[in-house]
Amino acid sequence: MDDYLYDPAAPPAEDVVEIERRLQPLRYQPRNVVAFRKRRRLPLLAAAAAVVLVLAGAAWLWTWPSGRSWKVEGGPIARLVVGETVQPEQSMLVRVARIGWMRVTQNSTVTLESTSSNRHRLAMSSGAIRVSVWAPPRSITIRTPAGDVTDLGCEFVVRADEKATSVDVVSGWVQLDNETGDVLVPGGAFSEMQLGGQPSVPVFHSATPEFRSAARTFDVETLLRTARRRDVLTLLMLARRHPQHRDALLVRAQELYAPKSEETVLRARAGHDDAIWGWVGDLPLPPAKGWVRNWRDLR
């Protein structure tokens, strides 16, 4: 073996010959590799073509001629025309351009103010509607007496009258805003706004009745006592609005769901708003603009 390893003229060692014989089937084959690469190229090209088709289809879905009416698939009228106010005597189902649908309940007062690609505007003075859309954020805005409701790619229910508006978010996120402020509401939560009043912080429907009541009246003691892990979002949003109670709310929020960095807590307690939003980002919530993952809402 030593002669074979160090002397090029020496005959092969028997052990080496046996090893080479056993490895013979695994010898490098250039033709096979080329064929393998060609075979791999086909699924890659197919995947690229599929992506192009999906993007083209999405572009078609989101495109809508300015001023075009919406089709009514079930109800007393055939189309919802721009500029027209309806108050149906029965519930009606309306196709929202190509991006989703809207259920208008009986005797609701709704006006389709404008339509265009990814920019549809409604007004609702009374009643209730359920909207489900799959499109980039802010494609649908609903103007109510108490303020605006804007989708971020989601499904939600809006109820309104001349004094108040409430929103229940089924999936995704919704923004409520008026001249006094705004709030983001995730799926599973609700919010409301009174005429001339700031939109309330989001509260999950699964919260205890005590917690929901305390959030509405800002009963700090009850909030701290009844908060669950999932209620941390509500505590964080209340901490932004009530600096005098910030420490107590954030200490409780940390006990229930601490952010990834201790520095986030310190900066949040010092009043840095970006730190609170960073904390919100650490919570197990869908991204505020994660409309793509809600494609199942398009039905």
> Token match 């790619």: residue?
153
- Confidence (pTM): 0.77
- Kindly compute the dihedral angle of the four CA atoms of residues 241, 242, 243, 245, in this order, to the nearest 10 degrees: -140
Farthest CA pair distance, the chain: 103
Mean pLDDT for all residues in the chain: 85
Rg, C-alpha atoms of the chain: 30
Q: CA–CA separation, 105 vs 95, rounded Å?
A: 14
Three-class DSSP category at 284: coil
Average pLDDT over residues 222-231: 98
Q: Is the dihedral angle over the CA atoms 211, 214, 218, 224 positive or is it negative?
A: negative
pLDDT in tens, 21-63: 766 776 656 555 455 455 555 555 444 444 444 444 455 677 8
pLDDT tens-digit map of 102-143 = 999 999 999 999 999 889 999 999 999 999 998 889 999 999
d(CA 186, CA 172): 6
Report the sign of the C-alpha dihedral through residues 64, 67, 71, 75, in that order: positive
